[in-house]
Chains A and B, each alone.
Chain A
Amino acid sequence: MNQGLAEKLAPWATAIGLVGLWWLCVDLFGIESYILPSPLETATAIYTYRLPLLANATATLATTLAGFAVAVAVGSVLGIVIGSFRLAYSALFPILVAFNSVPKAALVPILVIWFGVSALPAVITAFVLSFFPIVVNVATGFATIEPELVDVLRALGATRLDRIRKIGLPRSLPYFFASLKIAITLSFVGSVIAEIVAGNRGIGHVMLIAGSDFNVPLVFGALLVVGAMGTLMYAVFALLEHRFTGWSVRVLEYPTGG
């Protein structure tokens, strides 16, 4: 088979294989549907609850993207500052690491006390969970600029702003996009956690309600929906990455004839 086609089909084949394995386990061991529903029961649940799932998935997506957007803005700026100034690195980085080590789920009840049961705690949780990889990556892009290149620019009389614009930003773009792929999936984790702990809408909320009703097929259906959304957003950012930082991927030049 054609190599390219095989690579395109491979992820779908794996997915189908996993679903098959899941189904086989359910049938083989006679697992009850309130423990582990079969793929068919899950699909049926998704179909039955398609309208509420759609509405809540939209809500989750909006929450996630809002938190993610803030994470991109704050993360980039912090990354540039930390990567450009050694003092800023010493002052901020240890604090950020400490902050990132706090289990974010534990923050949700506090956020609820502050902001009430609304979308806001979910937006903040999505932001808090996803901005750290952006900071670290952008800072790495800035901090690893070749010193000779800095000399070339300084000897031309370049200001710090010149250096950030002409070298720092383009150079850190591949790091930035790599971090976006991680950050967007973490954003989903954050918003869904917040919705489960204290939400009044969103996929996480659906899972909580369905769980308490022992409607386990719907819980699994909701999980699949979140997974699909995360994968879709990941693909979007992988595409953007390819579009904007194609220069960082060297393509082998195959000689054509002669």
Chain B
Amino acid sequence: MSLIEVSGVDLAYRSDSGNRRHAATLALAGIDLAVDEGSFVSIVGPSGCGKSTLLRVISGLMRPSRGVVRVDGTPVDGPLKSVGMAFQNATLLPWRNVRDNILLPLEIVAPHRRRFRKDKPTYIARADALLHTVGLAGFGDRMPWQLSGGMQQRAQLCRALIHEPALLLLDEPFAALDPFTREELWGVLQTLCADRLCTVILVTHELREAVYLSDTIHVMSARPGRIIAARAIPLARPRRLELTFEPDYIELVHELRGHIEIARAA
């Protein structure tokens, strides 16, 4: 069964400049999308097509103008609780060191927030273990600005995952990184996801990234965004960087590029 079902979702932005009702801008049009539990799904599309908006609608941060989003069969009305999110900007809190930044969700999410003070040593151990997994062992006491961009993104992934969310939403988390760091973090993300049962939705414009990480890729058209193609990625896991030089992989990237060209022209 699908964990997430998006059916017939439209989203219109009402521009509220002045009192006159301006013609609403349609950002999403008739989106249908199903995401299976435990799968890794990417949404790709030309810039400005409403990918990030779709992510916000799925997470309940935005209400669709029409249609419905169901999570576990229940219609979403209001922000989902305990979803992990990560963005292009690391958005770490500059007044907290890396470890305390990662612990933030545990101070907020339901079962943990009551135990947080009492069980702090356990939680700190969990944060440090996670930092170790992403290659940041020993950096817990640093302040965010002392970390490079790539390291900040690793820390952000830790923060998104520390409370073991059932759903992880990633909005171009690697877009601002150099290619080498980016490819390294694909590996980190893959390891993190393999270790836990987590459904991931990744928004990206980097097709190689989408193919490398996903089970399924959905292609969106230019604004108003609609899903114009869905492609299963049958490549075996775990995937290694050598894969990116193999014909199967390259062919998939080419195929998707074709879809994007059509989407941009439309």
Contacts and interface: CB of A to CB of B under 8 A. Distances in A.
A27 interface: no
A154 B79 CA distance: 6
Interface string A229-253: 0000000000000000101101001
Interface string B70-84: 000000000111111
Contact of B145 (A152, A156, A162, A250): A250
B91 A148 contact: yes
Q: Which of A157, A173, A248: most chain B CB closer than 10 A?
A: A157
B108 A156 contact: yes
Interface in A154-191: 154-158, 162, 166-167, 170-171, 173
Given A247-B94, A248-B94, A151 B61 contact: yes
A157 B109 contact: yes
A173 B93 CA distance: 13
B255 to A, nearest CB: 32
Contacts of B225: none
17 contacts: A151-B59, A151-B85, A154-B79, A155-B60, A155-B79, A155-B80, A155-B85, A156-B163, A157-B82, A157-B108, A158-B108, A166-B104, A166-B107, A167-B93, A170-B93, A170-B95, A248-B94
Interface of B: 56, 59-61, 79-85, 87, 89, 91, 93-95, 104-105, 107-110, 143, 145-146, 159-160, 163, 169
A173 B95 CA distance: 10
A253 B110 CA distance: 39
B169 A247 contact: no
A149 interface: yes
Given A155-B59, A157-B108, A248-B95, 16 more contacts: A146-B91, A152-B87, A152-B91, A155-B81, A155-B84, A156-B109, A156-B163, A157-B82, A157-B110, A166-B104, A166-B108, A170-B95, A247-B143, A248-B94, A250-B145, A253-B146
Contacts of A148: 87, 89, 91
B4 to A, nearest CB: 14
Contacts of B94: 247-248
A202 to B, nearest CB: 39
- Secondary structure class of chain A's binding surface, majority of residues: helix
A153 interface: yes
Contacts of B110: 157
Contacts of B82: 156-157
A151 B56 contact: yes
A146 B169 contact: no
Contacts of B104: 166
Contacts of B145: 250
Contacts of B60: 155
Contacts of B146: 253
Lowest 9 A-B CB distances belong to which pairs? Answer: A157-B81, A155-B83, A247-B95, A148-B87, A154-B79, A156-B108, A149-B91, A158-B108, A170-B95
Nearest to A170: B95
B105 to A, nearest CB: 5
